[in-house]
Amino acid sequence: MVFVGDSLGEQTAPYLAQLIAPIVLTPQVFGGTAPCDWLGKDLQIMSGSVVVVSFTGNATTACMADASGADLQGAGIVERYRTDVTALIAVARTAGATVLLVGQPVHVDTMGGNDVVAGINAAFMDLAGDPDVAYVDAGAAVENPDGTYAAALPCLPKEAECGPSGSNVVRNDDGLHFCPGSPPPGPCAVYSSGAFRVAKAIADAITG
């Protein structure tokens, strides 16, 4: 399995690798990247692989600039993601692989950007109508039941750790990432219930 993504993917990948074992996970994840940053790269996709694609809306790398060189915004981000994820799907198909597109969680309201998250999720759902492409709303795993932002959620049965209140922090203090507290983006040095929940949703979609 190949996992292509950004900093949320960096935090999710270690848990996904554990959950899908003995299937081998090949992480192709790096913070701040967008789908276009992975086009033209050797993603090590093989025939029969599942390619998991998870991006939350980054638009600051060179390939996400508009015609004037400025970073794309709003609907422009969504349309570029649709175009570039379509290209990633074509790469996977050519290699004989299938694709799983990962729905993204909302950000805390004060951070903004949820119009882009909603647009990306809608685009991913549209693309999942194509053969060999599926969609999983993994972002819902770290949201309240009504789809709103959640900083903490009740512990899952048999979760590796559980807070004394019976709940776990599922989002970073920045309102975007999963690693609890306020560490910088990137791999998480402590247990991350949010990353585990998203990984579990992805693993369940793949293994049934």
**DSSP secondary structure string for all residues of 59-119:** --SGGGB-TTSPBP-HHHHHHHHHHHHHHHHHHHHHTT-EEEEEPPPPPPGGG--HHHHHH
Range of the domain at 189: 2-207
* Overall average pLDDT of the 59-80 stretch: 93
- CATH number, residue 64: 3.40.50.1110
Q: Give pLDDT, residue 113.
A: 87
pLDDT for the residue 112: 78
| pLDDT, position 5 | 98
Q: Give the phi and the psi of residue 12 in degrees, each rounded to 5.
A: -85, -35
* CA–CA distance, 142 with 162 (Å, rounded to integer): 15
Paired sense of beta strands 98-102 and 133-136, if any: parallel
The whole-model pTM stands at 0.96
Residue 208, pLDDT > 80, answer: no
Tell me the per-residue pLDDT of 152-185, one tens digit each, with 9 for 90 and over.
Answer: 999 999 899 999 999 999 999 999 999 999 988 8
**What would the mean pLDDT of 136-153 be, rounded to a whole number?**
97
Q: Is the pLDDT of residue 100 over 80?
A: yes
The mean-pLDDT minimum among 65-69, 84-88, 89-93, 149-153 falls in: 65-69
- Our count of domains for the chain comes to 1
Specify the 3-state DSSP secondary structure of 18: helix
